[in-house]
């Protein structure tokens, strides 16, 4: 075991207790007030500088290396929010907030980044430049990374690269993986109002049935991917909501349906928006309806910088051994607001940290109500991040 990993192991007990406290008191996106206070208190206890930012939740702290060398500035990011769902983990530290749970393991990410802060603060003489520790609010669907970017925290001095990890139940504890290049999809959403004319179910010729138009549109939309998008490009369009009607004998005025649009390529992203609108309008016209489409762009696709991927792999191998490196399946159609940072900073890497026991046949998935972060992974998360900083800042 390397010295660094030993040091990280020595922090395990404390940062496990931190993780349990956060797990027990989860807060949803942009409401992470107590979590923010708690993180600030921990950083204050370590004597680490916190940037005075005008943000309601979230924290950015800085640690300056004292070693002579170039002024590399690396940001390390942990997301801090929980999900609106029940915690059925059955753990003694299960959520005390009904309907809120740390089911994505962000409690683990916070504990790891606090451990990283502790070690880097004690090892200032071992690296040059500056590390910015970003405790970001609202990762789960609300794009909290934009709050951090707009706060100016990544400027002055400008961050050269941003790095984060995410717990991964499909790797064992002690394993790490990163995908080079396009890894996660952009995530856009649409909501369609198909407007007809209500009437008696027995006399459809006196009405305009929006259900006919909507069902045709819903059938046609997924075919855009198979028929109109270059086969080599990955994309998914899924209709996930539909609402219509109140009675078996009443044709409704309105059908509302909506869904999600995922792809990796920015050109395909534009194409999908145009084509979905065309299909919806075409279906409306076919049945004499009016269609209104609300189309919202969400996070862009996440593209890992190949050089930084190599650095993460090397740092992980340095501290955990070559056997710790796993092939990661990719790309995936999930999304992450970490991509906003990569676009803003110009360079970033999102890597996976094993939190599985290796014994489960089907590990409990992220966002499952029984999910709980694996504390055994905390030292490995700390050690890989610290080693990456020592390698990059020397």
C-beta closer to Zn ion: residue 65 or 144:
144
String marking each residue 49-88 x if it binds Zn ion according to CB under 5 A: ----------------------------------------
- Dihedral, CA of residue 207, residue 211, residue 213 and residue 216, to nearest 10: -150
Query: Pick from 139, 126, 129: which is nearest to 165 by CA?
Result: 139
- Cα-Cα end-to-end distance for the chain: 22
CA distance 31 to 48: 24
Scanning 42-50, 101-109, 186-194, 304-312 for contacts with Zn ion by CB under 5 A, the matching segment is: 101-109
C-beta closer to Zn ion: residue 166 or 393:
166
C-beta closer to Zn ion: residue 59 or 355:
355
CB of 137 to Zn ion, least distance (A): 13
C-beta closer to Zn ion: residue 104 or 130:
104
C-beta closer to Zn ion: residue 104 or 212:
104
CA distances to 14, 115, 161 from 120, rounded to whole Å, are 16, 9, 17
CB of 140 to Zn ion, least distance (A): 5
CA distance 268 to 231: 11
Q: Which of 101, 104, 116, 159 binds Zn ion (CB under 5 A)?
A: 104
Tokens matching residue 85:
């769902």
CA distance 141 to 75: 22
Query: Pick from 295, 235, 239, 293: which is nearest to 266 by CA?
Result: 235
CB of 136 to Zn ion, least distance (A): 11
CB of 184 to Zn ion, least distance (A): 12
- The residue nearest Zn ion at its CB is 104
CB of 276 to Zn ion, least distance (A): 26
C-beta closer to Zn ion: residue 4 or 104:
104
Query: Residue 242 in contact with residue 257, Cβ under 8 Å?
Result: yes
Please list every residue from 155 through 194 that binds Zn ion, using CB under 5 A. none
CA distances to 82, 88, 136, 137, 291 from 369, rounded to whole Å, are 12, 5, 23, 21, 37
Scanning 104-112, 150-158, 242-250, 324-332 for contacts with Zn ion by CB under 5 A, the matching segment is: 104-112
For 316, the enclosing helix (H) or strand (E) is helix 306-320
Scanning 84-92, 97-105, 184-192, 270-278 for contacts with Zn ion by CB under 5 A, the matching segment is: 97-105
DSSP string, 132-153: EEEEES--SSS-THHHHHHTTT
Number of residues lying near Zn ion (CB under 5 A): 1
CB of 168 to Zn ion, least distance (A): 10
Query: Pick from 198, 191, 163: which is nearest to 75 by CA?
Result: 163
Scanning 49-57, 99-107, 267-275, 325-333 for contacts with Zn ion by CB under 5 A, the matching segment is: 99-107
CB of 304 to Zn ion, least distance (A): 16
C-beta closer to Zn ion: residue 104 or 254:
104
The packing angle between helices 12-24 and 3-10, to 10°, is 50
CA distance 337 to 15: 26
C-beta closer to Zn ion: residue 141 or 222:
141
Scanning 52-60, 98-106, 281-289, 298-306 for contacts with Zn ion by CB under 5 A, the matching segment is: 98-106
CB of 306 to Zn ion, least distance (A): 23
- Positions touching Zn ion (CB under 5 A) are 104
């Amino acid at each position: 075991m390397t010295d660094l990993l030993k040091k990280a192991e020595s922090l395990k007990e404390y940062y496990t207790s931190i993780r349990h406290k956060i797990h027990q008191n989860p807060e949803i996106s942009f409401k992470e007030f107590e979590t923010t206070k708690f993180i600030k208190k921990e950083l204050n206890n370590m004597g680490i500088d916190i940037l005075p930012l005008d943000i309601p939740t979230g924290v950015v702290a800085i640690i300056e290396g004292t070693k002579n060398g170039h002024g590399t500035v690396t940001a390390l990011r942990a997301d801090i929010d929980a999900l609106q769902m029940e915690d059925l983990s059955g753990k003694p530290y299960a959520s005390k907030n009904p309907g809120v749970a740390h089911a994505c393991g962000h409690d683990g990410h916070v504990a790891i980044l606090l451990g990283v802060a502790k070690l880097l603060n004690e090892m200032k003489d071992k690296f040059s430049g500056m590390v910015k520790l970003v405790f970001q609010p609202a990762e789960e669907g609300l794009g909290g990374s934009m709050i951090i970017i707009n706060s100016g925290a990544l400027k002055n001095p400008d961050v050269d690269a941003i790095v984060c990890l995410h717990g991964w139940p499909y790797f064992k504890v002690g394993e790490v993986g990163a995908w080079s290049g396009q890894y996660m999809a952009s995530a856009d959403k649409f909501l369609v109002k198909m407007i007809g004319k209500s009437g008696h179910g027995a006399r459809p010729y006196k009405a305009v049935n929006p259900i006919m138009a909507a069902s045709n549109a819903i059938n046609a939309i997924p075919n855009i991917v198979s028929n109109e998008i270059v086969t080599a490009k990955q994309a998914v369009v899924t209709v996930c909501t539909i609402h219509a009607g109140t009675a078996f004998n009443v044709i409704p005025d309105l059908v509302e349906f909506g869904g999600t649009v995922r792809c990796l390529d920015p050109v395909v992203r534009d194409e999908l928006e145009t084509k979905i609108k065309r299909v919806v309008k075409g279906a409306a016209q076919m049945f004499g309806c009016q269609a209104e489409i609300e189309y919202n762009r969400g996070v862009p696709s996440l593209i890992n910088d190949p050089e930084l991927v190599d650095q993460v792999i090397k740092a992980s191998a340095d501290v955990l051994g070559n056997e710790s490196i796993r092939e990661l399946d990719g790309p995936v159609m999930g999304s992450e607001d970490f991509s906003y940072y990569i676009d803003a900073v110009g360079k970033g890497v999102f890597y996976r940290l094993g939190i599985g026991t290796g014994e489960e046949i089907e590990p409990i998935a992220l966002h499952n109500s029984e999910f709980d972060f694996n504390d055994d992974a905390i030292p490995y998360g700390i050690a890989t991040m610290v080693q990456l900083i020592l390698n990059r800042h020397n």
